Amino acid sequence: MILSVFITCGIARLARYNATVASLPKDSSGKISYFEGTPIPTTMTIVAIIAYFVKEGQIDDNLPGGVIEIFPNIMLHPFVLLYALSGIAMVSKTLKIPKL
């Protein structure tokens, strides 16, 4: 479910950018000076973290935070919450990240 929210946030970020790009403030050269919310490629940091854990043998039940049983037969890897945070950061209207 959390990964579905993450994907939905990514889609919403792209749609909002396409709908609001004309109204965002631009510098003298006509370029937008900041990202509103985190850019989608920043989620590659989660992929890098997962790659590190795989290299170290910390996969499945050995992920940091282990596994929590929320309801009978419904398990949660707390690590998955990084995807929720990343999705929320992508659609944040108040988070402004300067473009380099």
Distance of CA 99 to the CA centre of its chain: 18
Residue 22 pLDDT level (bands cut at 50, 70, 90): confident
Model confidence, pTM: 0.77
User: DSSP secondary structure string, 10-55?
Assistant: HHHHHHHHHHHTTTS-B-TTS-B-EEES--GGGGHHHHHHHHHHHH
Q: What is the pLDDT of residues 9-20, one digit of tens each?
A: 999 988 887 777
H or E segment to which residue 83 belongs: helix 81-91
Q: What φ, ψ does residue 75 adopt, rounded to 5°?
A: -105, 155
Is 22 strand, coil or helix?
A: coil
The residue written with tokens 């995807």 in the block is 83
Q: Is the pLDDT of residue 61 over 80?
A: no
